[in-house]
Structure 1
């Protein structure tokens, strides 16, 4: 065959080289970086996944409007797992194997993370900033897993300290989701009580994604607890408080940040008042913090809340690490960049190291008053 006849084939082959070079790492193209997110976009926990997605997309829209990172726009592919582990497995496999994402971001929940993380670890895909304080994601350190938010152990220590020191409460009961999420938070409560020579006064369990809480609440109240630490989702808590009040209980309710504060207030109405919630993010209305001021400028007013602020901060930290990973990022370079990150986003600090993949241990306290989340220093 003459050289003239080979020229079209050679041109086609050499024309592919730039594309092959830029696509060497899954999810990295010449003009975009693809991320995967699988969380609850439907079902009783949908507000959590929708909030995380809204916050992350708001920040990525800001960055993409500025030209992206090293000339690449960030594309977020979102799948719905309904807060069910089996669906999280299927979605995670699809994101890695079919969508070829660069990293996974913003999963919601302990049982779903427990199902998805082994898949990410086997594929060596970064599993970034899940919406859970579960200890298994933190100890021991997993090379591809990074958390921003404080742990449930951090939250429950602050909660128990405040309810005992400020309110003098002694009879503390648990109303908990009967799965790994419930067990993780329970461990934190038990540890915090043990430090103070105390123990759980009573316990009852509910099923994940079920709003049938009546039997559990009814079984718990004869013990006459002064406080009930609730471990579950926002619609369940709304149902539990309504049932407890109907039965004449004066017990006060406490819960951790996973509840989804704004979703809970909407679901519980006036019954939300008096509930204390530990938070791992600052107030989404505190514009004195630069990160919150920017967030309020970027987020749709209807989406403002603690959950979407967390998604926004998740996205900001990812972008900072991606910049540090260089113009031709790989997953390994992203991990190295994260482990060297020491960042003040403007009122919220995040720092990792090779031996610590939890970026923040900040815990904030709020009380629901008049249908609003009010930041407080104590429970007095």
Structure 2
């Protein structure tokens, strides 16, 4: 199992040197008061079907380095430890257990994957481990008090895509192509609910496996159904493969996808086939003249110059920034630096700017962080342009009771 870490902790030495600190360390895992260091961790797919998702972790790590270098935490430093999980939920649980038992992390911060983050929730509840900024969009993440997802539920995003297809693209025949795991199932729930509320039916709803590379059978079904808009919820590689299958069989439709695929990594996989694809997005454009977004561009370029600067990386940075914001609030509160107190103060976050996100709020019983999306389109010059401003999610989906 591969491991990445920076700013190595000196907790054991500090505990031995300072009387009474050993007890404090036991009460607050991951907190080194003497060294003013907090250790957090994450799982990330260095191997497996989506190794380019490590861009997310590189960006989160760069955010923590930025926080350390610019003294965002009033003298405190963040020690970030990550391990490879191969994008396999069972391995994500094993990594989390290792981070807790061996590395004594204070929290998970920006762990990568929807199904992966959902899989670790039972263990996180068992040990009282906060999960800050899980990079996934599943309903289960919003229903758990220890989890603070910055990403929207993919059901909200799917409903936002569907609303745009109906109202702006004037589509009459819309289909859903969804990854058969928690990511896709969350999208399907929101899509189906918005259809039912609007008394409309999709012309097709087709699942696929995350490792699927040939979408020819799926696209033939879409073509036979005469879908004029296809909303795909899956990975960058899935979207690229579906677009290639559509080109092979001569199927012409408008395509829509979630925000994280509006990125140079998808452009690299799909080439000009990406031109014209629409994406819902809860993040500011990566070229925005905003100090938080500029910090992302500057520091990722410095730390990982080969990584593309795009919404994919800004997503990772913003989820890292959520932990920075939460720990800032915990320090300012004057409360003991415990996991439980981190959860308590995070539930007082109101209308905060966090990385590329705006108006982020959490409260007891409501862990919906992002609350609105804009619509972005891939342009022929390789850029991604905002074609519809931010607006709230369809209310019946956003306010639906979480299961």
**What TM-score do the two structures reach when normalised by structure 2?**
0.84
Give the counterpart of 2:19 among 12, 17, 20.
17
Residues of 2 paired with 1:109 and 1:67: CA distance?
29
Displacement of 1:278: 0.9
Displacement of 1:170: 1.4
Match of 1:92 in 2: 96
Residues of 2 paired with 1:132 and 1:345: CA distance?
17
Residues of 1 paired with 2:299 and 2:138: CA distance?
30
Match of 2:317 in 1: 312
Write out per-residue CA displacement over residues 1-23 of structure 1, whole angstroms, 9 at most, x where no aligned residue.
xxxxxxxxxxxx98452441452
Match of 1:132 in 2: 136
Residues of 2 paired with 1:194 and 1:271: CA distance?
32
Unaligned runs of 5+ in 1: 1-12
Residues of 1 paired with 2:23 and 2:136: CA distance?
36
Residues of 1 paired with 2:354 and 2:93: CA distance?
32
Distance change in 2, residues 1:15/1:231 (3 Å)? closer
Displacement of 1:180: 2.2
Displacement of 1:238: 0.7
Residues of 2 paired with 1:55 and 1:306: CA distance?
11
Match of 2:10 in 1: none
The worse-fitting range, judged by mean Cα deviation, of 221-230 and 36-45 is 36-45
Distance change in 2, residues 1:317/1:236 (3 Å)? closer
Match of 2:121 in 1: 117
CA contact (8 A) 2:155 2:188 kept: no
After TM superposition, list the pairs within 5 Å mapping 1:301-380 onto structure 2: 302-326=307-331, 328-342=336-350, 343-345=352-354, 348-370=358-380, 371-377=382-388
What secondary structure is seen at the aligned counterpart in 1 of 2:31? coil
Displacement of 1:126: 0.1
What secondary structure is seen at the aligned counterpart in 2 of 1:284? coil
CA contact (8 A) 1:110 1:181 kept: yes
Displacement of 1:361: 0.9
Distance change in 2, residues 1:82/1:209 (3 Å)? farther
Distance change in 2, residues 1:345/1:128 (3 Å)? closer
Match of 2:396 in 1: none
CA contact (8 A) 2:210 2:238 kept: no
Residues of 2 paired with 1:154 and 1:14: CA distance?
50
Residues of 2 paired with 1:74 and 1:81: CA distance?
22
What secondary structure is seen at the aligned counterpart in 2 of 1:63? helix
What secondary structure is seen at the aligned counterpart in 2 of 1:299? helix
Match of 2:293 in 1: 292
Distance change in 2, residues 1:239/1:274 (3 Å)? same
Match of 1:266 in 2: 268
Distance change in 2, residues 1:246/1:40 (3 Å)? same
Match of 1:200 in 2: 202
Write out per-residue CA displacement over residues 348-374 of structure 1, whole angstroms, 9 at most, x where no aligned residue.
222211121122212121111112211
Write out per-residue CA displacement over residues 40-72 of structure 1, whole angstroms, 9 at most, x where no aligned residue.
223332223x22212212221122123563533
**What TM-score do the two structures reach when normalised by structure 1?**
0.89
Residues of 2 paired with 1:150 and 1:180: CA distance?
14
What secondary structure is seen at the aligned counterpart in 2 of 1:203? strand
Match of 2:29 in 1: 26
Residues of 2 paired with 1:335 and 1:202: CA distance?
41
Which one has the largest radius of gyration?
Answer: 1
Residues of 2 paired with 1:143 and 1:166: CA distance?
37
Displacement of 1:345: 4.6
Residues of 2 paired with 1:294 and 1:203: CA distance?
40
Unaligned runs of 5+ in 2: 1-14, 390-403
CA contact (8 A) 1:40 1:82 kept: yes
Match of 1:224 in 2: 226
Residues of 2 paired with 1:107 and 1:305: CA distance?
19
Q: Give the length in aligned residue pairs.
A: 362
Write out per-residue CA displacement over residues 72-126 of structure 1, whole angstroms, 9 at most, x where no aligned residue.
3101111122221111111111111221111001123322122111111111000
Match of 1:236 in 2: 238
Q: CA RMSD in A?
A: 2.2
